């Protein structure tokens, strides 16, 4: 079951169905950098959440963390992404650097990346 928060508070969701114990080690981690007053962020959040509900991802284990870069505790991310939100990091085990999506998200491109 997919659980999604409607606010921009940091949260984590997990999505997994019918995975074997060996595939659980291949979890994809998403980090969504956003700010509350950003319309691009709101649109990107909706596209991201719709994408995560897609049947193409039903057998994938995916976690999502949302970070509001305007919160004081996230100031290091403000310094990195103050002019670039929304940003999505896609990370997998044994991957040197995250794959990054910036500014606007496309459902088909997200699905392509998340089904690898």
**Domain presence at residue 75:** yes
The tokens 């290091």 sit on which residue? 76
**Domain presence at residue 32:** yes
**Domain presence at residue 23:** no
Per-residue pLDDT tens over the stretch 15-65: 443 344 444 457 899 999 999 989 999 999 999 999 999 999 998 999 999
**Domain presence at residue 14:** no
**pTM: predicted TM-score of the whole model, two decimal places:** 0.78
CATH number for 82: 3.40.30.10
**Domain presence at residue 105:** yes
What is the domain range of residue 95?
Answer: 28-115
Per-residue pLDDT tens over the stretch 82-101: 999 999 999 998 889 999 99
Is the per-residue pLDDT at 12 higher than 70?
no
> Can you tell me the distance from the alpha carbon of 33 to that of 38, in angstroms, rounded to the nearest whole number?
11
- What is the number of domains present in the chain? 1
């Amino acid at each position: 079951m997919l659980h999604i928060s409607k606010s921009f508070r940091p949260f984590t969701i997990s999505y997994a169905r019918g995975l074997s114990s060996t595939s659980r080690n291949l979890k994809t981690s998403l980090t969504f950098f956003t700010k509350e007053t950003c319309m691009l962020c709101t649109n990107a959040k909706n596209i991201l959440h719709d994408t995560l509900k897609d049947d193409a991802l039903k057998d994938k284990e995916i976690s999502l963390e949302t970070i509001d870069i305007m919160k004081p505790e996230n100031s290091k991310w403000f310094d990195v992404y103050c002019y670039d939100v929304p940003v999505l990091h896609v990370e997998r085990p044994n991957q040197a650097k995250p794959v990054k999506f910036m500014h606007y998200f496309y459902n088909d491109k997200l699905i392509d990346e998340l089904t690898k």
